[in-house]
Amino acid sequence: MYDPRALQAKWLPRWEELKPFAAVEDAADTRPRKYMLDMFPYPSGDLHMGHGEVFAIGDVIARFWMQKGYNVLHPIGWDSFGLPAENAAIKRNAHPAEWTYANIETQATSFKRYGISFDWSRRLHTSDPEYYRWNQWLFNRFFERGLAYRKGGLVNWCPVDQTVLANEQVVAGRCERCGSEVVRRELTQWYFKITEYADRLLDDMAQLEGGWPERVLTMQRNWIGRSTGADVQFAIEGRDEAVTVYTTRPDTLYGATFFVVAADAALAEEIVAPDRREALAAYRAEVAKLSDIERLSTEKEKTGVFLGTYAINPVNGERIPVWAADYVLSDYGHGAIMAVPAHDQRDLDFAVKFGLPVKVVVHTGMADPGDTGVATPGEGTLVNSGPLDGLSKVEAIQRIIEILAERGSGKATVNFRLRDWLLSRQRFWGTPIPIIHCPDCGEVPVPDEQLPVTLPDVRGADLKPKGVSPLAAATDWVNVECPKCGGPAQRDTDTMDTFVDSSWYFLRYVDPHYEDGPFDVEKVRKWGPIDQYVGGVEHAVLHLLYSRFFTKVLHDMGMVDFTEPFLRQLNQGQVINRGKAMSKTLGNGVDLGQQIDAFGVDAVRLTMLFAGPPEDDIDWADVSPAASQKFLARAFRVMVEAGEASAAGADFSAGDEELRKVTHRTIDEVTKLVEGFRFNVAIARTMELTSAARKAIDSGPGAADPAVREAAEAIAVMLSLVAPYVAEEGWERLGHGPTVARAGWPTADPALLVRESVTAVVQVAGKVRDRLEVSPEISEDDLRELALASEKVQTHLDGTPRKVIVRAPKLVNIVP
Interface of this chain with RNA, residues 622 to 681, rule: CB under 7 A: 622-624, 626-627, 630-631, 633-634, 637, 678, 680-681
Instruction: Select from 195, 207, 244, 248 the one that contacts RNA (CB under 7 A).
Output: 248
DSSP run (H or E) holding 630:
helix 625-645
Q: Does 246 bind RNA (CB under 7 A)?
A: yes
Give min distance, CB of 354 to RNA, in A. 14
Binding segment for RNA (CB under 7 A), chosen from 18-26, 109-117, 683-691, 708-716, is: 683-691
H/E element, 45 = none
Q: Does 531 help bind RNA (rule: CB under 7 A)?
A: no
Q: Nearer Cβ to RNA, position 81 or 259?
A: 259
Q: In the complex with RNA, which residue's Cβ is closer, 473 or 687?
A: 687
Mapping DSSP to helix (H, G, I), strand (E, B) and coil, where does residue 736 land?
Answer: coil
Residue number with CB closer to RNA (581 or 647): 581
Q: Which is nearer to RNA, 168 or 728 (CB)?
A: 168
Least distance in angstroms from the C-beta of 798 to RNA: 17
CA 176/CA 252 separation, integer angstroms? 39
Print the binding letters for residues 542-581 with RNA: x by CB under 7 A, - otherwise. Answer: ----------------------------------------
- Could you tell me which residues are beta bridge partners of residue 186? 154
| Whether 579 contacts 617, CB under 8 Å | no
In this chain, which of 249, 359, 425, 552 binds RNA, going by CB under 7 A? 249
How far apart, in whole angstroms, are the C-alpha atoms of residue 140 and residue 478?
19
Q: Following DSSP, what letter does each residue of 318-384 receive, concatenated?
A: -EEEEEEETTS-TTSTTSEEEE-GGG-HHHHHHHHHHT------EE-SSPPHHHHS----S--EE-S
From candidates 19, 151, 525, 695, binder to RNA by CB under 7 A: 695
C-beta of 256 vs 446, nearer to RNA: 256
Q: How far is the CB of 692 from RNA (least distance, A)?
A: 9
Strand, helix or coil at 445? Answer: strand
Tell me which DSSP letter residue 459 carries. Answer: -
Distance from C-alpha of 108 to C-alpha of 47, rounded to nearest angstrom: 9
Q: In this complex, which beta carbon is closest to RNA, that of residue 54 or of residue 76?
A: 54
Residue 83's closest CA among 171, 138, 26, 161? 161
The yes or no reply on residue 815 touching RNA (CB under 7 A) is yes
Site for RNA in 752-771 (CB under 7 A): 759, 761, 763, 765-766, 768, 771
Q: How far apart are CA 145 and CA 244, in angstroms?
A: 29
Site for RNA contains 473 (CB under 7 A): no
Stretch that binds RNA, among 18-26, 100-108, 561-569, 618-626 (CB under 7 A): 618-626
Shortest Cβ 196–RNA spacing (Å): 17
CB atoms < 10 A from the CB of 441, how many? 15
Rounded Cα distance between 454 and 130, Å, is 10
Size of the site for RNA (CB under 7 A): 78
Residues 177-236 contacting RNA, CB under 7 A: 214-215, 218-219, 222-223, 225, 227, 229
Strand boundaries in 61-200, DSSP class E: 71-73, 77-78, 124-125, 148-158, 163-165, 170-171, 174-175, 183-192
Interface with RNA in residues 316-335 (CB under 7 A): 326-329, 332-333, 335
Q: Which amino acid is it at 151?
A: K
How near is the Cβ of 365 to RNA at its closest, in Å? Answer: 18
C-alpha to C-alpha distance for 545 and 222, rounded to whole angstroms: 12
Q: Which of 129, 210, 447, 613 binds RNA (CB under 7 A)?
A: 613
**333 Rama sector, left if φ>0, alpha if ψ -120 to 50, beta otherwise:** left
Binding mask 360-399 for RNA (x = CB under 7 A): ----------------------------------------
Interface residues for RNA in 77-106 (CB under 7 A)?
none
With binding defined as CB under 7 A, does residue 302 bind RNA?
yes
Helix (H), strand (E) at residue 5: helix 4-18
Contact between 262 and RNA (CB under 7 A)? Answer: yes
269-298 residues in contact with RNA (CB under 7 A) are: 295-298
What's the distance, Cα to Cα, between the start and end of the chain in Å? 61
Angle at 493 between CA 490 and CA 499, to 5 degrees: 140
- The only residue of 140, 169, 415, 498 in contact with RNA, by rule CB under 7 A: 415
